[in-house]
Amino acid sequence: MKLREPGICGVDVATGQLIGATNRYVKTLDDLAGLYEDEAAFRDLQRERGDALVYEVTDYRQSVDAGDLIFGVTRMRPGKVGREYFLTRGHIHANADRPEIYYGESGRGVMLLESPEGEVRTVHMSPRTICYVPSFWIHRSVNIGADDLVMTFAYPADAGQDYAIIEETGGMRSRIVDDGSGGWTLVDNASYRGRSAARIERVFRGVV
C-alpha cells in the first residue's frame, strides 16, 4: 500500500496565514455583494475602500478523498457594513454529514449556525477555544472585534462546500449586528424565506 507522506505546517498568527499551505483564496468586498442588509452602506464602503480584502483562507490538502483531512487558517478583517459585522459567505458541506472544527488563534468572532429547519445557534470564539460545527449545520463566521479574526480549521477532505443553500433562502435566518454599545446582538434577516420540507429532506439524505 502506498502511504501518503506526513506533512508539517506553521500557523502565522500575526499574518493569519498557514505556512506551508498548498492552497489559497481570498474574498473581497465585491465577492460579498448582496450578503448584507444595508445595500447603501455596502456601496459606500466599496467607494471608500475599493475592492478590499475581507477574508483570506490558506489551507493544506493532500487530497479530497474520503477519510482524508483538510486543515487551514482563515483570517478575516474587522469591519462593518452599516451595523452588520463582516462575515464569511457561509456554507453547508456538500456532503452534509461531515463536521468541522475551528480553533481561535486571535481576535473575537462568532460562529453563526443554522439547521436546515431554521434553528439558529451562535458560538463565541476567542483565542484557544475550539468550536465544533456538527454535521448538517450551515455555518458562517463573523468578526465582532476590532482586530483580525484568525482561526485554524479542519474538516473531512470530502466535505465540499455548498453556498446555494444560503442564497436560496435570501440569506441566513439571523444577522449579527452591533448592539450600539460595542457588543453584538442577533436580529432577524427580513429577506429570509424558510426551506421546503423537500429541501430539508434532501439535506438530511446527506448530499446537498
**Is residue 159 a contact partner of residue 66, using CB atoms and an 8 Å limit?**
no
Check residue 100 for interaction with Zn ion (CB under 5 A).
Answer: yes
Pairing of the two strands 130-133 and 100-106: antiparallel
Q: How far is the CB of 87 from Zn ion (least distance, A)?
A: 14
The C-alpha atoms of residue 49 and residue 37 are separated, in whole angstroms, by: 19
Segment lying near Zn ion (by CB under 5 A), choices 17-25, 60-68, 99-107, 192-200 = 99-107
Question: Residue 112 is inside which H or E element, if any?
Answer: strand 109-114
Measured from the CB atom, is 139 or 173 closer to Zn ion? 139
Measured from the CB atom, is 23 or 185 closer to Zn ion? 23
Q: How far is the CB of 200 from Zn ion (least distance, A)?
A: 19
Q: How far is the CB of 172 from Zn ion (least distance, A)?
A: 14
The C-alpha atoms of residue 165 and residue 193 are separated, in whole angstroms, by: 11
Number of separate helices (H) and strands (E) present in the chain: 3, 15
Which grid cell sits at 74?
482563515
Binding mask 48-87 for Zn ion (x = CB under 5 A): ----------------------------------------
Closest CA to 85 of 41, 119, 48, 51: 41
Check residue 114 for interaction with Zn ion (CB under 5 A).
Answer: no
| 112 beta partners | 122, 140
The C-alpha atoms of residue 142 and residue 131 are separated, in whole angstroms, by: 13
Check residue 148 for interaction with Zn ion (CB under 5 A).
Answer: no
Count of residues that interact with Zn ion, criterion CB under 5 A: 1
Helical H runs in the chain? 39-49, 164-167, 197-204
Measured from the CB atom, is 35 or 45 closer to Zn ion? 35
Segment lying near Zn ion (by CB under 5 A), choices 18-26, 36-44, 92-100, 189-197 = 92-100
Closest CA to 7 of 143, 125, 154: 154
Measured from the CB atom, is 45 or 166 closer to Zn ion? 166
Segment lying near Zn ion (by CB under 5 A), choices 65-73, 100-108, 140-148, 192-200 = 100-108
Q: How far is the CB of 99 from Zn ion (least distance, A)?
A: 9
State the residue number with the nearest CB to Zn ion.
100
Binding site for Zn ion (CB under 5 A): 100
